[in-house]
Structure formats: C-alpha cells, structure tokens
Amino acid sequence: MWRRGVSLSSMLSSSKSRLLNQMQVACGFNACQVFSTHVLNPIVAEDGVSGARRKPFVTFVLGSGPGSGKGTQCTRIVNTFGFTHLSVGDLLRKEIYSDSENGSMILDTIKEGKIVPSEVTVKLIKKAIEASENNRILVDGFPRSEENRIAYERVGGVEPDIVLFFDCPKEEMVKRVLNRNQGRIDDNIDTVKERLSVFEELNLPVIKYYSEKGILHKIDGTGTEDEIYERVLPIFAALR
C-alpha cells in the first residue's frame, strides 16, 4: 500500500531506479509494471502536506452469480494495481465468527441463500472504506440488490467509479462453487440454486442501472483465470 507522506511528485522527480525501489518496498507488488503502464489515481494526498484524504477510487465487483470468479480476479487486481479488496461476504462472515449481535441472523440468511438486510451490510462497508488508508478500493459482492444500492447511497457511501461484471454460464458457476472447498456453509447445491434465483430477481436491476449510467464493464467470465484477467487488465490500464 502506498502511504501518505510519500508524494508522487517527489517520487517522479527521483531517478527511475530509486523510484522503482521505493515503490517496491512501499507496495510489495510489481512496481516496474505499475510504473511503466498502470499508474492511476495516486494513493497519496495531492499536496503531500495536509494528508487530507481524497475521494477513493472505488470499483464495485459483481458477477452473474456465486462462482463467477469475482474473488479470484480481485486478488489479481490487488497484486497488480495495489487496490484494497473488501469482500462483502468476508465482512459478513467475520461478523458471524466475532459473535456480533447480528451474527446468528447473518448465518441463517447466508445459509438460506438470501441477502442480509442492507442496513447491516452498508454499515460494514462504510466502516471498512473509512478504515482503509488506501485510495483504491474494490468492493466485491455489492450491491446485490436495488435495496442494497439505494441504502448505500442514502448513508452517503462512496459511489463507484466503475463496476465490473463477470458474466459466466450457470453450469460453470455451479461446478466451480461445488469444487470451491473453502468449507462455506452456502457452497452446497440447494443454497446455490437459491442464490442463483435471488441473483436473477434482485441483482439484474442493479446491473442494468450501472449499465445505463455508463460505468459497467461486462467481462466474459469463461476460460482460465489467466484468460479472464487478460480481459480485466485493459480496463484499469485505460484509467490512468
């Protein structure tokens, strides 16, 4: 992660090799690749003095259902572009295991393949974005309904700059989920069927909304992980 206090302009005036070293140490990812082709929206305060936070560059990551490859591709985007990955499913699962007041309700909802009430989810996302020092955020698995989307807008959540949509056929998603092997209570055929029907009913209007807004990037989610990532790369490279 790039820390505040290291201003991009001072970095740019350094020699290239020193800059690459600084970035390598600070970011822990392939600085050469980032420097040469993918510098976008620097994660430092513009003036380098006040440390005031700029609006983060927020990407919502959606898919045609469970197993469409959202989490897998997010990991790659993090590694190349230095985003922070907020998986909303993970935030909710953490609530279950941290014995929070909503834990058992969240557990039941996820087991049934339904959507957790927006007020719970939205609070978790907002808190996580505010707690992050990174100005590039991936919000994976949100909004899953118009209700989710509108609730987030109402609390003044940071609007997405772009939305990725991984489109994958049902049979492939079901196959992937049943092989996921992460011990998730919702990775069974009955819950997956319910999640797919919830997707059709609730998620499609959200996709349509972002498409009409002109910020949706629909990505073919079939093929190998590498092949899919090849389709993702140009979206971020184009944002410099």
List residues near ligand YYY by CB under 6 A. 66, 70-71, 87-89, 92, 110, 115-116, 121, 141-142, 144, 148, 186, 195
How is residue 231 written in tokens? 């389709």
How is residue 179 written in tokens? 């092989």
Locate tokens 């990991």: which residue?
A: 75
Q: Is residue 220 at the binding interface for ligand ADP, with CB under 6 A as the rule?
A: no
Shortest approach of ligand YYY to residue 112 CB, angstroms? Answer: 9
Q: Is residue 192 at the binding interface for ligand ADP, with CB under 6 A as the rule?
A: no
Shortest approach of ligand YYY to residue 132 CB, angstroms? Answer: 18
How is residue 9 written in tokens? 């302009």
For the CA atoms of 77, 193, 170, 120, what is the dihedral angle to 10 degrees?
-30
Beta bridge partners of 84: 137
Looking at the Cβ atoms of 70 and 144, the one nearer to ligand ADP is: 70
72 contacts which partner out of ligand ADP, ligand YYY, Mg ion, none, CB within 5 to 8 A by kind? ligand ADP
Q: Is residue 71 at the binding interface for ligand ADP, with CB under 6 A as the rule?
A: yes
Question: Going along the chain, which residue ranges are E strands?
Answer: 57-63, 84-87, 136-140, 162-167, 216-220
Taking the C-alpha atoms of residue 139 and residue 51, their distance in angstroms, rounded to an integer, is 24
Shortest approach of ligand YYY to residue 145 CB, angstroms? Answer: 8
Shortest approach of Mg ion to residue 141 CB, angstroms? Answer: 6
Looking at the Cβ atoms of 8 and 167, the one nearer to ligand ADP is: 167
Shortest approach of Mg ion to residue 69 CB, angstroms? Answer: 8
Beta bridge partners of 136: 57
176 contacts which partner out of ligand ADP, ligand YYY, Mg ion, none, CB within 5 to 8 A by kind? ligand ADP
> Strand, coil or helix: what is 220?
strand
